[in-house]
Amino acid sequence: MLALAFAAGGCSNASESASAGDLQQKVAEPVTQVFDYAPEGAAPKAKQVPDEALIAKGTANLPFASTFSQAITITNGQTVTFETTNGSSGVDTVLVLFKRCDNSTTFDPSPYTERPCVTTFQVSDDWDYPTHGRYSKIVWTNNLGYTQNAHLMGFAYNSSTGTADVTSFGTQNFVGGTLKLQGNAGTAWTSGSTTSPGLTPDPWLFTFNPLGGSDGAYNDDSNGGRDSTITGATSNQMWYALSGFNTGTTTVNF
């Protein structure tokens, strides 16, 4: 089980989420509105068009698993430093320091379908490359005037999974895949998730702003199942990152 209390029973009813094969419809805006054909004398009917926010710009297949995570309390004025070293063959680490926008200490909320807002403090990938290889380093000072209930998580760049040492925490797993790209504004979600026979795949989807800011999010369960959906996703360039209660692969739709 993850250090941040990912739950096995994280299912509850949730509103339906769209997939590329089952698009919701909306009425076109007046400036671009077109009309279906109507017989003479009949009132024209606004043409229904697909909601672009629910159409993925792209997809990628990535691994998910119980990746490194740790709650971090950072007092006002405190500087924290975290670095990865001694990685296993082929691992490419990504470290992320963030908090829930509401500064709550709760990470795994109930209901598990909640989509908490994320404030990203710092993302590190390939710091001082090539001198320090594919490792990560975060140095962040809390100048916000009050204690930050932060979280430190470790992911793998794309599918370059493995283990590495983390400052103060020893050897940790970096087994959740990531993407750094610009997706659609609207919705990001996982689909087609697989895991070991007899188990239900349970991926977590995160988005983090590499420049910092409060436009990230995460989700555990959606649509009455274990796949994840982030609504209200930004079109800014973001890190899309995966963790999970168990191990498998999933398609990230962005």
Residue with tokens 């109507």: 38
Mean pLDDT within 11-38: 37
* CB-based contacts of 31-38 (< 8 A; 24+ apart in sequence): none
Q: Which of 25-34, 53-62, 142-151 has the lowest mean pLDDT?
A: 25-34
Residues 6 or more apart whose Cβ sits within 8 Å of residue 38? 44, 45
Q: How far apart are CA 91 and CA 124, in angstroms?
A: 14
DSSP-derived secondary structure letter, 30: G
Residue 9 has pLDDT above 90, yes or no: no
The answer to whether the CB of 219 falls within 8 A of the CB of 205 is yes
Q: What pLDDT is stored for residue 109 in this prediction?
A: 65
CA 61 to chain centre: 14
pLDDT tens digits for range 183-207? 999 999 999 999 999 999 999 999 9
How many CA atoms, within 13 angstroms, populate the side-chain half-sphere of residue 125?
20
pLDDT tens digits for range 92-146? 999 999 999 999 998 876 777 889 999 999 999 998 888 878 999 999 999 999 9
Per-domain residue ranges of the chain: 57-253
Using a 10 angstrom Cβ sphere, with 0-12 exposed, 13-18 middle and 19 or more buried, the burial of residue 250 is buried
